[in-house]
Structure 1
Amino acid sequence: MTMSQTASVTPGALWTGRGLSALIVLFMIFDGVIKLPPLDVVTQTMVQLGWPADPNVSRMLGIIGLVSTALYAVPRTSVLGAILLTAYLGGAIATHIRIGSLLFSHTLFGVYLGFILWGGLFLRNPKVRALILLNR
């Protein structure tokens, strides 16, 4: 079997994948943009999470998130973007575990986003489908 036979993308899967990916991109753009200016709500939340109240720290996190999101949104670099966003979400999960956040609403939120992120990529990218669908 060729890759096109094992990993073809139907129009429904393609549009579902694009929709899931769009949700992640919109969420991450919001997340990154609010970290750029020194907003009190961001600074206060960073302190609650154990991060310094330094606006430069939140700006750097915002830039990392936005660059990773841009890479995810571009088809040629979407896998690299997904890997970087997975690492970014892993940091958020680790932060919530460290401070003892609620499990299902806060700590696992990054896991939920990761499933949506990779699900969207899986549904819209036949190469990712071929890689993940090792046995048919």
Structure 2
Amino acid sequence: MSQKTIKITGWALTIILGLIFTMSAFMKLTQNETALAQASSFGIDTTTYQFLGIIEIFSLILFIIPRTGILGTLLLIAYLGGAIVTHLQHQQPIAMAVIFQMLLWITAFIRFPELKQRIFQTKKVQQ
């Protein structure tokens, strides 16, 4: 694949994830009735749910900006990890959160090759 194709793919996936996380955060911040019903079934009150929306937006902004993209990636991955655990605790399906987390990792590896290189480093470190 050419560098141009890789760059376009990375940004296309970033836009898709951006739209998904924006919609999710918007539902939390606007106190959508369906979202609030699910949150209350998990024992999450409305104030905490709005705070989660703020964290989601903040992490998303960091993810989209190239200079802070790795930090945003790690924050969103941690956020989704918490969502997965919460769903598991309440016997809810986790497939969507796992799919988004995998898509986030793939996007991060495409956009930030240095992250992939760091995680899958094959050279032995000399002491």
Q: Which range, TM-score by smaller chain?
A: 0.7 to 0.9
1:85 counterpart = 2:72: no
Which of these residues, 49, 54, 60, is aligned with residue 69 of structure 1? 60
In the alignment, structure 2 segments of 5+ residues that lack a partner are none
Letter paired with 1:17:
G
1:17 matched to 2:10: yes
Equivalent residues of 1:72, 1:79 under 8 A apart: yes
Query: 1:4: which partner in 2?
Result: none
The residue number in structure 2 matching 1:113 is 100
**Aligned Cα RMSD in Å?**
1.8
- Whole-Å separation in 1 of the counterparts to 2:22 and 2:81: 18
Counterpart contact for 1:36–1:59, Cα < 8 Å: yes
**Residue number in structure 1 paired with 2:87:** 96
CA contact (8 A) 2:70 2:112 kept: no
Q: Distance in 1 between matches of 2:19 and 2:43?
A: 24
Moved runs in structure 1, 4+ residues, more than 6 A? none
Paired with 2:120 and 2:85, the residues of 1 have a C-alpha distance of 29
Q: May I ask how many residue pairs the two structures share in their alignment?
A: 122
Q: Find the partner of 2:109 among 117, 122, 129.
A: 122
2:43 aligned residue: 51
**Corresponding residue number in structure 2 for 1:42:** 35
Q: Normalising by the residue count of structure 1, what TM-score does the alignment of the two structures yield? A: 0.81
Native 8 Å contact 1:72 1:82 kept in 2? yes
Q: Following the alignment from structure 1 to structure 2, what is the Cα–Cα distance between the partners of residues 18 and 41? A: 31
Q: Structure with the greater relative contact order (CA < 8 A, sep ≥ 6): 1 or 2?
A: 1
